[in-house]
Amino acid sequence: MRTKLHTVAAVLAGCSGTSTAAPGSPGPLRIGAIPDQDPEVLQRQFGTVADSLAAALGLDTGYRPVTDYAAAVSLFRTGDLDLVWFGGLTGVQARLQTRGAVPIAQRDIDEEFHSVFVVNTATGLAPADDLRPLAGLRFTYGSETSTSGRLMPAYHLREAGVDPEGFPGGPGFSGSHDATIALVASGTYQAGVLNEQVWRSRSEGGEVDPAVTAYARTPAYHDYHWLLGPGAVERFGDDLAGRLTGWFTGLSADDPDDAEVLELFGAGSFIPTEAANYRQIEEIGRDLGLVS
């Protein structure tokens, strides 16, 4: 029965020009990721994962970049991407739209992830826990469906009494964390919010303009994770999720090749995860109208 399903899938894919796999072949494991950083950074990061995963598990594997967050969710739903690195919100959206999708791993740092509010120094604001002074500033989020660049910051702004959509002229949406830093540095926006990991990495690398400074940090939440689609399990076997989880969680900083992958992800290790970890994100997403 499985062979027939694979043959039909290969014929359909061939008609649309999306695959060159031979009839009966499972084809490649197609890896994707939300485009939350500069494309060159993502190409190196996920190209390395694809190569390492292919060598370790003997799978034909390749990274396919996408144009935006919505495209990552859509291509996962249609089966054009098999294994995707999603943020918390996009992972929830993709899983709810794709019956049989399963989270397989997250980084150790994703158990307690944070967002950082940043301001242009011309605002005169010093670091504080009070988000209310941000209300009168020109403000930008990252992508509209970013967990760390929109969802959780909007939630905490509202909890602090700030209308998350009520900034002068309405909030901006930069599209990525790197773009948020650049827009606040230029003064196009006086303040913004982004992924703490990207902020820390760019700051430590001396890549942040001195005109931008950290203002506040959100409480912790679960965020990024790998989500596996049901089509890949049909093609590669029921043990695929376990094999992938085993590979990710088995990466060791003591092994040079493994260490390269972990460093690219800013992680000490990968750990198993499950859908229940993202229940808070799903609830907040529904409340803010970002999950239906």
Whether pLDDT at 292 is above 80: yes
d(CA 278, CA 87) in angstroms, rounded, equals: 10
Residue 37's pLDDT band (cuts 50, 70, 90): confident
Predicted local distance difference test score (pLDDT) of residue 23: 54
The pLDDT of residue 280 is above 80? yes
Return the pLDDT at 16: 27
Instruction: List b or e across 267-289, with b for residues whose CB sees 16 or more CB atoms inside 10 angstroms.
Output: bebbbebebebbeebbebbeebe
pLDDT digits (tens, 9 = 90+) for 75-85: 999 999 999 99
Tell the residue number behind the tokens 């700030």, with chain if given. 162
What pLDDT score does 38 carry? 87
| pLDDT tens column, 168-209 | 999 999 999 999 999 999 999 999 999 999 999 999 999 999
209, two tokens: 């303009």
CA gap 128, 178 in Å, rounded: 23
Q: Give 54: exposed, middle or buried? Use CB within 10 Å, 0-12, 13-18, 19+.
A: middle
pTM: 0.85
Length of the chain: 292
